[in-house]
A and B are shown apart, each in its own frame.
Chain A
């Protein structure tokens, strides 16, 4: 448990001192929003409405992948990853610390992106801000759990920037479907039914347990 807090604290302090990861992710997410605007020039705000939850989550996932790649790339410097592997504790706690740091940093970026999104596409997100944050936090939990596991794998392969999305995206479908469905319900009706939340909860539980156990085998040597 103390390992979990130590890793989380270390990652947050490092990020606070440099702020490079959050700025890069945030700028990237904003650019994605701008690209959507230019890629869909004919569609007005009304005609775009059914697609907006999906577009928002695409921006989130792309930004998350950028941050996840960095999370372990920094550990390669000075062989810090080997140091982490030597920590005399269950490596699952290292995973949890890393994943929690990713989750918090992604949350900051997501909040900024949501504001930009609301302004750019004229969506009234303020009215559902609280339940929407809950849905986004829940969806991001699944994203950051296997995302952190696969980032630890992909960072030690060739073409690591390419490897992470190839590993992550096919397995992310349950998270994406649940999150997009819940977000769409919130934007349409202002409330969300249990079905997508249930899917997210079950998926998160499976992903967290598998990543906690699997991390033991990816952090070695």
Chain B
């Protein structure tokens, strides 16, 4: 059984303070670098939203990857700790993906002049958001927790496998794109590299920190259920 997920002594528990501190320091450095970064000559100050948008999208992808990985390991090993990881990563991933879908249109409205375009990357991200919301709903609507874990693991893996298929499909249909191309060498102006790099580090640290907290919480919840069941059993036998 997953005894080492008990509230004291777990790896997530021991790393709580160090990872929180690291996140705080990174966030402050990132904030400072974003404030000091030069304004874009064409887009103006609205370009700075990309220092949030781009790092957060990578963190959301990391969250969904962890969900599929946790699901696959759960199916393989049948260990509930992996399921906790998958579930926690999905929740935090959906949160980050929501941030992406909020910050993107704000930037697009200022730069393209409209909130949304059915372009490859936007559509893919929107579909991913739907997939992982459905993942969370599936968990909520399935009664037995072990069955929910198996269903969700299968769905999470299929969800990740569909990403490349969706990519090719939408590429085939949409063709041209409005979305800026992936950051190539030299596509950033002077002074814009640091805020991006710090942003990536901060977003990844935030995701991992939140996932670890969520895993810990889930462990505590299960421990509570176990203790209550134990107390009830005790009350029956005495």
A residues with CB within 8 A of B? 146, 149-150, 153, 156-159, 163, 166-167, 169-171, 173-174, 177-178, 181, 195-196, 199, 202-203, 206, 210, 214, 217-218, 220-221
Instruction: List 9 extra interface pairs beyond A158-B141, A181-B173, CB under 8 A.
Output: A146-B158, A156-B147, A157-B142, A170-B131, A203-B169, A206-B165, A214-B154, A214-B157, A218-B150
How distant is A151 from chain B, measured CB to nearest CB, in Å? 12
Mask: chain B, 92-123; 1 = CB below 8 Å from A; 0 = not: 00000000000000000000000000000000
Number of A-B contacts (CB under 8 A): 84
Name the CB-closest residue of A to B123.
A173
Mask: chain B, 129-142; 1 = CB below 8 Å from A; 0 = not: 01100100110011
Interface residue total, chain B, C-beta cutoff 8 A: 28
State A173–B67 Cα separation when bound (angstroms): 21
- A217 contact from B127, B141, B153, Cβ within 8 A: B153
* Contact present for B158 and A171 (CB under 8 Å): yes
Contacts of B154 in A (CB 8 A): 149, 153, 214, 217-218
State A221–B146 Cα separation when bound (angstroms): 11
Mask: chain B, 158-174; 1 = CB below 8 Å from A; 0 = not: 11011001101110110
Name the CB-closest residue of B to A168.
B134
Known contacts: A157-B142, A163-B141. The answer to whether A199 contacts B169 by CB under 8 A is: yes
Contacts of A221 in B (CB 8 A): 147
State A171–B155 Cα separation when bound (angstroms): 10
How distant is A65 from chain B, measured CB to nearest CB, in Å? 14
Task: List 30 contacting pairs A-B, 8 Å CB cutoff, sorted by A.
Answer: A149-B154, A153-B138, A153-B151, A153-B154, A156-B142, A156-B151, A157-B142, A159-B141, A163-B138, A163-B141, A166-B134, A167-B138, A170-B131, A174-B166, A174-B168, A177-B173, A178-B172, A181-B173, A195-B172, A199-B165, A199-B168, A210-B157, A210-B158, A210-B161, A214-B157, A214-B158, A217-B150, A218-B151, A218-B154, A221-B147
